[in-house]
């Protein structure tokens, strides 16, 4: 059995409003086991005998779209990979001033495009680094929506493939 982490885009932050109980029920109805929703921001841990992430992702997106009537998009990773991503966070984890984030993508090329789009910006307040299939980001607390890098992340080309989680959430998913 393989343990997976589904990171749903746009849940309870201006997109679809879904309760954790609804997510758990949907995943269980799809035949997954060990289902657990983590926090109220579209994070689901589950077990599956299947290993093909692209097939699983498509299946889950289709089920979410049918059930909740929105264009579901998600990033799917193994829990083991999420553990590695959390462990490799390259910046200060909790210095009281910066807020640590990890940006995941369902399209690895979009991460390179994101970094290209942000090249040349005055990133004095933002610190970014490419990681293994992610972008690590550290931004002053209270600036995660209006910093120069945040404005690039929010642009339309990235809206369908990127999803951001704070490092504490990533660590909960890694250990849950």
Q: Is the pTM of this model over 0.75?
A: yes
**Mean residue pLDDT across the chain:** 89
State yes or no: pLDDT of 97 exceeds 90. Answer: no
| Domain assignments of the chain as residue spans, ordered by start | 2-82, 90-175
H or E element, residue 44: strand 43-48
In sequence order, the 6+-apart residues with CB closer than 8 A to the CB of 61 are 72, 73, 74
Look at the alpha carbons of 142, 145, 147, 153 in this order and tell me if their dihedral is positive or negative: positive
The CATH H-level (homologous superfamily) assignment of domain 2-82 is SP0830-like domains (3.30.70.1280)
Task: Report the topology of domain 90-175.
Answer: Alpha-Beta Plaits (3.30.70)
Is 47 or 160 the better-scoring residue by pLDDT?
47
Considering only CA atoms, which of 42, 40, 50 is closest in space to residue 5? 42
Spatial CB neighbours of 146, under 8 Å, sequence gap ≥ 6: none
2-82 and 90-175 have identical folds:
yes
pLDDT band at 12 (very low <50, low <70, confident <90, very high): low
């Amino acid at each position: 059995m393989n343990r997976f982490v589904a990171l749903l885009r746009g849940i309870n932050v201006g997109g679809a409003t879904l309760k954790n109980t609804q997510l758990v029920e949907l995943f269980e109805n799809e035949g997954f086991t060990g289902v657990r929703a983590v926090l109220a921001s579209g994070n689901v841990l589950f077990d599956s005998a299947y290993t093909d992430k692209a097939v699983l992702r498509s299946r889950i997106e289709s089920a979410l779209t049918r059930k909740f009537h929105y264009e579901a998009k998600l990033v799917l990773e193994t829990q083991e990979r999420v553990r590695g991503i959390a462990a490799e966070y390259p910046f200060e984890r909790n210095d009281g001033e910066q807020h640590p984030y990890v940006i995941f993508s369902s399209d690895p090329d979009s991460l390179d495009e994101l970094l290209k789009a942000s090249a040349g910006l005055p990133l004095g307040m933002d610190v970014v680094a490419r990681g293994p299939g992610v972008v690590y980001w550290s931004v002053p607390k209270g600036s995660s929506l209006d910093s120069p890098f945040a404005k690039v992340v929010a642009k339309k080309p990235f809206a369908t493939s990127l999803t951001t989680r704070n490092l504490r959430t990533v660590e909960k998913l890694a250990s849950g």
